[in-house]
Structure 1
Amino acid sequence: MLFPLLTPSAVAATTDVPDTVSVDGLSFSRADVAGAATATAERLGGVRVVAVEATPTMATVIAVVGALLAGVVVVPVPPDSGSAERRHVLDDSGAQAWLGPEPADAAGLPHLPVRLYARSWHSHPQPPAGHAAMILYTSGTTGAPKGVVSTHGSIAAGLDALAAAWRWTADDVLVHGLPLFHVHGLILGVLGPLRIGGRLVHTGRPTPEAYACAAGTMYFGVPTVWSRIAADEHSARSLSDARLLVSGSAPLPESVFRRVAELTGHEIVERYGSTETLITLSARVDGERRAGWVGLPLDGVETRLRPDPESAGPDADDLPHDGESIGELLVRGPMLGAGYHGRPEATAESWLPGGWFATGDAAVVDAGGMHRIVGRLSTDLIKSGGFRVGAGEIESCLLDHDAVAEVAAVGVPDDDLGQRIVAVVVTAAGHDGGDDLAATLVAHVAERLSAHKRPRDVRFVDELPRNAMGKVQKKALLEAP
């Protein structure tokens, strides 16, 4: 059962507070959420799959929860998606209607509005654990976005494992302003409080000022959010009374980790996951939090490091956990999705025998089981002059220089080296890019890391291309002239 706290008996037994769920200023009690979602579920007879224009609104929350209660598969759609992407998602998923917020482009599908103040207290049969709950679409960096099927059981298992790792309880107040169309903001940030208990405050937008005013015990953010908080001393110090600060969806710069710790007294908890797997690794609330490392396997999760089959062969042994060997991270656990919707060949490439999922991410694991994600194998593992270099290590080193605000390291084709390391840099305020700074940054890396890890070229840009979750789109950098 995904939402045991929303059953009529559970709601009746609870002394409800008026603002259990608050989204951009509109507050509902748990009874309000249960009643409105149940009323929504009753309107979905005969519907198998619905799309939700996932705006940060109460209507989105009620639409998603109502559909899940009814056993209807939810397809969250980014509000800013272009017409071609939207049509692909709708056609690929088989969505039969829109539910909730009125879409900007309905693309020919009927729209079922959510009645926020309708209430019903009937019980609905609980979908079985293996029943599809959502089809979440990947960012499409390697072609058309693929729909990942998450089940009721995988979502419940993933949230329960995080509750154990973070000691997340009904006493917590979760604050975030993340998008509601992906794992971080929707599954963790909305379904988490509705399963585990406690309050949710969604700030509409994840600004430092909004976070500072929310008085939460837990805060979720992507690195861009934490970087802005680190630059706003007053807002950052307002988070000192929180219990847990959590970062995910992209690597957190070590400089931001240190600055937030200095201002708030909290070392940020980093965690790792994907659309396909939900969250599988995290620092523990009572364990080590090491800048740049994403922690230990959650309860029920196992990991392996697979060597590069091009160099080691398909039957090579797994790599050692020595904190240095870089390999592809494989994971398995009860929170993994059920595959790519309608794509058996793509599913077979990533969901391997024995329940393992090939993440496509390069990682290292130390002797204590701590994991560090080097980056994507396709763009972040740079093979230069016979060496295998992780882009993340170079980026962390450059971010320690005062002149660097943001950076992405990529490997571009080179006739001599195979790949040439290029650092794409956004300069910090008060610094101008140019040959002198480029030479300084190359020397900065060469002094702190191995000489073969130094960039052979430094390019200065006004901003790095990012997706809605704050991840740098390195393929766009590689395609740039």
Structure 2
Amino acid sequence: MFSTFQSKVFQSNNVSVCFNHENKAVTQRQFVSDVNRLLAKYSPGTAPTSVVLYSTNTYKFAVSLMALTLRGCTVILPPNGQPETLKALLQQTPCFLGDSELVEPLGIDFINIENLPEQPGFFPLAQLVWPKEGNLVFYTSGSTGKAKPIVKSWQTINKELSILSSSYALKCMPMFIASVSHQHIYGLLFRLLWPLSTGHVVDTDLLHYPEHIAAKLKGAKQVVLISSPAQLKRLRADNVLIEQKSHLQWIFSSGGPLANEDAVSLFSQLNKPITQVFGSTETGGIAYRQVTSLENVSSWQPFSGIKMSVGTNDRLLLNSPLVNHKDYPLDDRGLVLKSGQFKLLGRLDRIIKLEE
């Protein structure tokens, strides 16, 4: 599937728009050119084995991610830009790319790849090949509450992108807007890689307030909104999107549970169901549902190729093409129905998520 659109999406002579960055259209030609500029900083023989990548600028992040991956680097993605987080990760590798102003005050030696001179004899890419090899390293809190590294291969990332593309139909070339960060697996997949890999437009602004979302809807015919439960709960209380609700094609929520009351209320206000996605950094996406009625709350529908079962103490067991282990145990209790759908009955651990 991915080989089908690689040549279509990333031709350097293609003038199609792939980003809306700072309210300006960025063409595929410009994106390929910017990736080439960064690739010219190091040849394959001099590229570092791993790099810490942190940038709040989604376009800069996308250029950096593609260039690092195509040079064979393992990309380490900090969950935030806090000094303690960056300092700990830069003890693993001295190489950094992104918002260097966050790293400079830390008083540690690091290599800012962006400042390296161009390597002689560099030949620019005529088109950008979609990554197939290499790893991304995410950091997430597990059942202990302590951040731990989760390594995801590009083969696994691409499998999940294929699942997303086949699960949700996109019509009329929608623009993807988001109120979640690309530094986490949900934001990376849904707001950046999915639209980028399928030739849709990525809006690079991080939308913190409903008014900012409303402004985006006014300027776009069709929009896919990538959000979180906490942000949607606040939207429900004062929904400024109602006038532009016809522009919303999909609304996604993940990162934590969305209250049924919030989901139903938003459906009533916007005439569009909230598509909730259940999963984790470790497992990838597992299932989805749309709750539109409190009288008949929808069960979770596993994505294609995913099967659930129940083990001891009602623990849910996962079999997924995104996970190497058979009967992978989740930290959730559940009930699996004859249809293959399932209901969640609560957590087995004592971890809760505040604001995702």
Following superposition, the deviation at residue 233 of structure 1 comes to 2.8
Are the equivalent residues in 1 in contact too, given 2:69–2:134 (CA < 8 A)?
A: no
Relative distance call for 1:95 and 1:191 in structure 2 (3 A) is farther
2:239 is the counterpart of 1:245? no
2:242 is the counterpart of 1:271? no
Q: SS state of the match for residue 71, structure 1?
A: coil
TM score, norm. by length of structure 2 = 0.83
Instruction: Return the alpha-carbon distance in structure 1 between the equivalents of residues 55 and 289 of structure 2.
Output: 29
Instruction: Return the alpha-carbon distance in structure 1 between the equivalents of residues 213 and 115 of structure 2.
Output: 28
Instruction: Return the alpha-carbon distance in structure 2 between the equivalents of residues 2 and 109 of structure 1.
Output: 36
May I ask how many residue pairs the two structures share in their alignment? Answer: 338
Following superposition, the deviation at residue 295 of structure 1 comes to 2.7
Following superposition, the deviation at residue 133 of structure 1 comes to 2.5
Following superposition, the deviation at residue 232 of structure 1 comes to 2.2
Instruction: Return the alpha-carbon distance in structure 1 between the equivalents of residues 128 and 249 of structure 2.
Output: 36
Which residue number corresponds to residue 260 of structure 1? Answer: 266
Are the equivalent residues in 2 in contact too, given 1:71–1:126 (CA < 8 A)?
A: no
Q: SS state of the match for residue 151, structure 2?
A: strand
Q: SS state of the match for residue 299, structure 1?
A: coil
Instruction: Return the alpha-carbon distance in structure 2 between the equivalents of residues 170 and 43 of structure 1.
Output: 38
For 2:34, give the aligned amino acid. A
Relative distance call for 1:161 and 1:201 in structure 2 (3 A) is same
Are the equivalent residues in 1 in contact too, given 2:12–2:28 (CA < 8 A)?
A: no
For 1:209, give the aligned amino acid. E
Q: SS state of the match for residue 243, structure 1?
A: strand
Q: SS state of the match for residue 30, structure 2?
A: helix
| Higher RCO (CA < 8 A, seq sep 6+) | 2
Which residue number corresponds to residue 329 of structure 2? Answer: 358
Which residue number corresponds to residue 163 of structure 1? Answer: 165
Which residue number corresponds to residue 184 of structure 2? Answer: 182
Which residue number corresponds to residue 98 of structure 1? Answer: 96
Which residue number corresponds to residue 119 of structure 2? Answer: none
Q: SS state of the match for residue 364, structure 1?
A: strand
Instruction: Return the alpha-carbon distance in structure 1 between the equivalents of residues 180 and 201 of structure 2.
Output: 16
Following superposition, the deviation at residue 305 of structure 1 comes to 1.8
Deviations 1:87-140 (A, max 9, x none): 33334xx3341113325125422112289xxx943467776x4x3320011135
For 2:199, give the aligned amino acid. G
Instruction: Return the alpha-carbon distance in structure 2 between the equivalents of residues 122 and 335 of structure 1.
Output: 32
Larger gyration radius, structure 1 or structure 2? 1
Following superposition, the deviation at residue 203 of structure 1 comes to 2.7
Instruction: Return the alpha-carbon distance in structure 2 between the equivalents of residues 367 and 376 of structure 1.
Output: 22
Deviations 1:229-250 (A, max 9, x none): 2122332442333221111111
Which residue number corresponds to residue 121 of structure 1? Answer: 125
Are the equivalent residues in 2 in contact too, given 1:172–1:198 (CA < 8 A)?
A: yes
Relative distance call for 1:6 and 1:257 in structure 2 (3 A) is same
Are the equivalent residues in 1 in contact too, given 2:15–2:28 (CA < 8 A)?
A: no
- Of 42-51 and 157-166, the range deviating more from structure 2: 42-51
Instruction: Return the alpha-carbon distance in structure 2 between the equivalents of residues 223 and 330 of structure 1.
Output: 25
Deviations 1:400-443 (A, max 9, x none): xxxxxxxx8xxxxxxxxxxxxxxxxxxxxxxxxxxxxxxxxxxx
Which residue number corresponds to residue 412 of structure 1? Answer: none
Which residue number corresponds to residue 89 of structure 1? Answer: 89
Which residue number corresponds to residue 69 of structure 1? Answer: 70
Identity %: 17
Following superposition, the deviation at residue 294 of structure 1 comes to 6.4
Instruction: Return the alpha-carbon distance in structure 2 between the equivalents of residues 185 and 281 of structure 1.
Output: 17
- Of 141-150 and 193-202, the range deviating more from structure 2: 141-150
2:268 is the counterpart of 1:297? no
Relative distance call for 1:236 and 1:78 in structure 2 (3 A) is farther
User: 2:286 aligned to 280, 304, 314, which one?
Assistant: 280
User: 2:342 aligned to 371, 377, 382, which one?
Assistant: 371
Which residue number corresponds to residue 154 of structure 2? Answer: 152
Which residue number corresponds to residue 329 of structure 1? Answer: 316
TM score, norm. by length of structure 1 = 0.63
Aligned pairs for 1:398-437 within 5 A: none
Are the equivalent residues in 2 in contact too, given 1:170–1:198 (CA < 8 A)?
A: no
User: 2:312 aligned to 307, 315, 327, which one?
Assistant: 307
Relative distance call for 1:233 and 1:9 in structure 2 (3 A) is closer
Instruction: Return the alpha-carbon distance in structure 2 between the equivalents of residues 12 and 272 of structure 1.
Output: 37
- Of 158-167 and 358-367, the range deviating more from structure 2: 358-367
2:28 is the counterpart of 1:30? yes
Which residue number corresponds to residue 43 of structure 1? Answer: 41
2:97 is the counterpart of 1:112? no
Instruction: Return the alpha-carbon distance in structure 2 between the equivalents of residues 213 and 142 of structure 1.
Output: 40
User: 1:209 aligned to 183, 208, 211, which one?
Assistant: 211
Following superposition, the deviation at residue 26 of structure 1 comes to 5.2
